[in-house]
Homo-oligomer: A and B are copies of this chain.
Amino acid sequence: MRDKTFLMIPGPTPVPESVLLDIAKHPVGHRSSEFAKVLESVYSDLKYVFQTKNDVIVYTASGTGAMDAALSNLVNPGDKVLSLVIGNFGQRWAKIAKSLGADVEVIEVEPGKAINPQELKDRLDRDVNKEIKIVTLTQNETSTGVTNDVKTLVSYIKEHGALSVVDGVTSIGAMECKMDEWGIDVLISGSQKGFMIPPGLSFLAASEKAWEVQRKCTRPDFYFNWETNRKSVIANSTAFTPAVSLIAGLKTALEMIKEEGLDNIVERHTKLAKALREALRAIGLKLFVEDDSIASTSITAILPPENISVPDIRKTLKNDYYIEVANGQNQLKDKIFRMGTLGFVCERDVIMAVGSLEAALYKLGHKFEPGSGVAAVIKYLNK
């Protein structure tokens, strides 16, 4: 059946119809006064979502573009960078830093675990000569469905004096992330996640301390240059022709976010993910992240039942129920599957997804009580 696909991957996420309709309009001139008004609204609302007074730059690029922009404006060859790695996206920070000639040290934990804040603190305490200039971390690790305790980690980094560079791609607009209050130095995100619009835009904000380091960075950067881009933000413009259609959609999506309110959005994500976890346990599935305190509220990683393969589950969900869920990445491929409850998702969607997953598993021969997953969702949501 055409036009029935429902995305429960970690992104792109479902897009509200009013956003799609804004994106569908004829593009406006990017130097027109109408578009300046759109940008004014977008730049202001982005500060609300980032919980910051800093300007938020909008790049026409995917999230990785903003990651590249973050480090390439800060790192000089030989700089010591400490990368906290709990999965593929944490690893990406380390790769970018290395490609820039940084001296990269990695604290890595096995997939499914979070960084132990004490371990970071101990490492930073040992750095008495303040050699570590930058610490990179991931709030929500998309590849494993684990959330780091960014608030605590950043507080240690701040205490030490290094810059904290945080990937908020699958966390901002879904989980609590208070840039200014927590003292995050550089925070980036992407459009196709909590922001509820299609991929193509990414966002970056930097603290005054980060800007000082940027000014001393010797590496040239034309397209991603912070300074050139911020000048345009201040003028309600963009340095280069942006994806105007996506920005038109972003304006509407941000208005929806403000209308619902960040606190309510965080609560909704928490509730939906917990309901999903209850359901998965009820139908006899094992969660990849058993520890509820570090489990992501935007992406849930699940082990398949014995004797049923991840590809079969994904194929059945897709072909018979038009629901897309993600495979594991790299070494986790075919070992786990991942369901997103990220962005424009409501209780009904979780009921539908759990019911469909039950149906798929039933077809594939999994032994369980059909309906027990949906029952668990209903009970959890109404307790």
Interface residues of A (CB under 8 A from B): 3, 5, 7, 9, 11-12, 14-15, 20-21, 23-32, 59-65, 67-68, 72, 95-96, 99-101, 190, 192, 198-200, 220-224, 239-246, 324, 326
Q: Residue on B with the closest CB to A21?
A: B24
Q: Residue on B with the closest CB to A75?
A: B220
In angstroms, Cα B30 to Cα A324, docked, is 11
A68-B222, A101-B220 known; 7 other A-B pairs, CB under 8 Å?
Answer: A9-B29, A12-B28, A15-B26, A27-B198, A65-B223, A67-B222, A243-B246
Q: Which of B5, B9, B30, B60 contacts A12 (CB 8 A)?
A: B30
- Using Cβ atoms and an 8 Å threshold, which residues of chain B touch A59? 61
Q: Are B241 and A243 in contact (CB under 8 A)?
A: no
Q: Which of B26, B68, B190 contacts A14 (CB 8 A)?
A: B26
Q: Are A24 and B23 in contact (CB under 8 A)?
A: yes
- Using Cβ atoms and an 8 Å threshold, which residues of chain B touch A24? 20-21, 23-24
Q: Are A244 and B26 in contact (CB under 8 A)?
A: no
- Using Cβ atoms and an 8 Å threshold, which residues of chain B touch A64? 222-223, 239-241
Q: Which of B5, B11, B199, B222 contacts A60 (CB 8 A)?
A: B199
Q: Are B65 and A240 in contact (CB under 8 A)?
A: yes
In angstroms, Cα B12 to Cα A273, docked, is 41
Q: Are A7 and B21 in contact (CB under 8 A)?
A: no
**Contact A5 B30, CB 8 Å, known A61-B61, A200-B60:** no
In angstroms, Cα B232 to Cα A64, docked, is 15
- Number of copies of this kind of chain in the complex: 2
- Using Cβ atoms and an 8 Å threshold, which residues of chain B touch A241? 11-12, 62-64, 190, 192, 199
Q: Are B100 and A23 in contact (CB under 8 A)?
A: no
Q: Report the minimum CB–CB distance from A69 to chain B (whole Å).
A: 8
Q: Are A324 and B29 in contact (CB under 8 A)?
A: yes
Q: Are A12 and B25 in contact (CB under 8 A)?
A: no
In angstroms, Cα B26 to Cα A29, docked, is 24
Q: Which of B28, B31, B223 contacts A5 (CB 8 A)?
A: B28
In angstroms, Cα B200 to Cα A61, docked, is 8
- Using Cβ atoms and an 8 Å threshold, which residues of chain B touch A244? 12, 198-199
Q: Which one of A12, A15, A28, A31 has the greatest number of beta carbons of chain B within 10 Å?
A: A12
Q: Which of B28, B62, B72, B246 contacts A240 (CB 8 A)?
A: B62
- Using Cβ atoms and an 8 Å threshold, which residues of chain B touch A222? 64, 67-68, 72, 95-96, 99
Q: Residue on B with the closest CB to A28?
A: B5
- Using Cβ atoms and an 8 Å threshold, which residues of chain B touch A11? 241
Q: Report the minimum CB–CB distance from A306 to chain B (whole Å).
A: 26
Q: Report the minimum CB–CB distance from A234 to chain B (whole Å).
A: 19
Q: Which one of A23, A95, A100 has the greatest number of beta carbons of chain B within 10 Å?
A: A23
Q: Report the minimum CB–CB distance from A207 to chain B (whole Å).
A: 23
- Using Cβ atoms and an 8 Å threshold, which residues of chain B touch A29? 7, 9, 12, 324, 326
**Contact A200 B242, CB 8 Å, known A68-B223, A101-B220, A220-B99:** yes
Q: Are B27 and A12 in contact (CB under 8 A)?
A: yes
13 A/B residue pairs, CB under 8 Å, sorted by A: A3-B25, A3-B26, A20-B24, A27-B199, A63-B241, A64-B223, A68-B224, A72-B222, A99-B221, A100-B220, A200-B243, A200-B246, A245-B246
